Structure 1
Amino acid sequence: MVFGPPQDPILYSFPSPNNLIDALASFVIKVQKDSIEKKGRFTIALSGGSLPKQLNSLIGKPGLKWDLWHVYYADERAVPLDHPDSNHKLCSDVFYSKVPIPVQNIHPIDPNYLDDLDELSDAYEQELIREFAMKDSARYPVFDLILLGMGPDGHTASLFPGHELLSEEDRWVAWIDDAPKPPPRRITLTYLVINHAARVAFVAAGAEKADTLHTVLDKPEEGLPASRVRPASPGQVFWFVDDAASSKVQYQRAQFKL
């Protein structure tokens, strides 16, 4: 695949969080369908927060082929898989337990390496190599979809403002032991992976996100981590937000349609 310059983000804004979630579900179903028709599988990376619960809107919808889903994490906390802080536990409790994704198609961190962040991130990078480099012969992993949230400081995944990981140019998966919000020890996909995805979709709702979203979309030169998510063409970044979150944004909105 030949990658070109990033395309401008596409912003979808909806009257309510429920409208947002319904549109996101339709989007995920369409991306899944296109990916399976093209490659015979659907690769997705999830972050934590409210995103896993929002995916519950997919339950019972027609056209979903759960057996062909391959699920990874955009970031994960360096805690046991059953720990309350684990993104994997959250996803298991609110999403995986309700849908028939084969357990072998869900790719958590290896808990045997929790005491060594370098080993932990290396092991997760090997998971990506097995899925992408061996199957696709790709120089970089090309996820069909990466779903991300955005913190009030503009961080996404575990890429935080001002942190040295923002300039990581070699590793697909990197570790951080000084995250400014607990728990401090984490691993995260780097921009090398995020910015080679076919699609990245951010989800942000609520008036408390308004100032940050304004900065990310209207002042990208400030370099907040979320604004640095700009997949190389033909990749595309989408923002799914509600009107409260976009209330201060001047960036042009698009009409949602599939």
Structure 2
Amino acid sequence: MALYRDKKDGKDLRIYENADELRGHLAEYIAEISEASIKERGVFTVALSGGSLINLMGKLCEAPYNKTVDWVKWHIFWADERVVAKSHADSNYKLAKDGLLSKVPIVHSHVHSINDTVTAEQAAEDYEFLIRQLVKTRVISVSEINDCPKFDLVLLGMGPDGHVASLFPNHPVLNEKSQWVTFITDSPKSPPERITFTFPVIYSASNVAIVVTGGSKAEAAHLAIDEVGPNCQEVPARMVGPMEGSLVWFMDIAAASKLEGVKFSE
């Protein structure tokens, strides 16, 4: 059970005593959405980010989930990716493969990674084309509101600056509306070249979870979740809000330590 759970301005906050407790509940949450999506549509489409997220998903590789989850119905995507070789240490694909995908029986052709042999611009175009094809074949649902792909679940981390996916503060791509996938060549975090889902795609998801641990993220979490003054910078994580779906924040105490009005049960 979460130490604290409440809805705050439409955000479902689930705060846990430590990262290990969070891992268990995150695995349960993902497994439940997977089961519901497969029952409804026959597939489960999930988009991942990098950073510490894959490690926090690690309980899915353990009992009971490694046996009870219908892994062959999963389709894996990336909400953002570094434009490096798949074998590179900075690759989100490599991180996910080593930490999760190689440990469960996911169908190889259902793992939809980027083309790592082209420019960032071409990689973004290729990835959007791939997604459009899978929308046409109804592997991915489509939003009736904006005709964007409607992923069953988008899993995001958050940086100390409040960025999600590769949508960084004050960057022009925050305002991209026409493309589903775009690219940047000037990421403030190395490596500089990346592809990323745009906000309209994130908004269209059936479920979005932002998973945050550690005290270095506490100030950004405060700016993303609490009511702040007009002179405060609006961090990208604050802009996340599904149009029809649900938004859940999974946090540990350290990440939640600066939230206003949050009192932990004894």
Calculate the TM-score normalised by the size of structure 2: 0.88
Deviations 1:97-132 (A, max 9, x none): 11110100000001232xx22211110001111222
Q: Which residue number in structure 2 is paired with residue 46 of structure 1?
A: 48
Counterpart of 1:22 in structure 2: which amino acid? G
Alignment counterpart, residue 126 of structure 1, candidates 118, 129, 132: 129
Instruction: Work out whether residues 133 and 141 of structure 1, in 8 Å CA contact, stay in contact via their aligned partners in 2.
Output: no
Alignment counterpart, residue 246 of structure 1, candidates 233, 256, 264: 256
Deviations 1:59-79 (A, max 9, x none): 232420000000000100111
Q: Which residue number in structure 2 is paired with residue 3 of structure 1?
A: none
- With 50-59 and 130-139 compared, the bigger mean Cα shift is at 130-139
Matches within 5 A, 1:1-258: 8-59=10-61, 60-62=63-65, 63-113=68-118, 116-135=119-138, 136=141, 139-219=147-227, 222-233=233-244, 235-250=245-260
Partner secondary structure for residue 10 of structure 1: strand
1-structure distance, mates of 2:84, 2:132: 23
Instruction: Work out whether residues 223 and 234 of structure 2, in 8 Å CA contact, stay in contact via their aligned partners in 1.
Output: no
Instruction: Work out whether residues 19 and 56 of structure 2, in 8 Å CA contact, stay in contact via their aligned partners in 1.
Output: no
2-structure distance, mates of 1:252, 1:188: 32
Give the unaligned 5+ runs of structure 2.
Answer: 1-8
User: What is the aligned length?
Assistant: 246
Counterpart of 1:243 in structure 2: which amino acid? I
Give the unaligned 5+ runs of structure 1.
Answer: 1-6
Shift in alpha-carbon separation, 1:215–1:41, aligned structure 2, 3 A: same
Partner secondary structure for residue 248 of structure 2: strand
Please report the RMSD computed on the Cα atoms of aligned residues, expressed in angstroms: 1.8
Shift in alpha-carbon separation, 1:69–1:251, aligned structure 2, 3 A: farther
Return the offset for 1:253: 8.1
Shift in alpha-carbon separation, 1:248–1:131, aligned structure 2, 3 A: same
Shift in alpha-carbon separation, 1:73–1:163, aligned structure 2, 3 A: same
Partner secondary structure for residue 239 of structure 1: strand
Deviations 1:134-164 (A, max 9, x none): 3146521111111100000001100000000
Q: Report 1 or 2 for greater relative contact order, CA contacts < 8 Å, sequence distance ≥ 6.
A: 1
2-structure distance, mates of 1:248, 1:164: 29
Partner secondary structure for residue 15 of structure 2: strand
Instruction: Work out whether residues 47 and 77 of structure 2, in 8 Å CA contact, stay in contact via their aligned partners in 1.
Output: yes
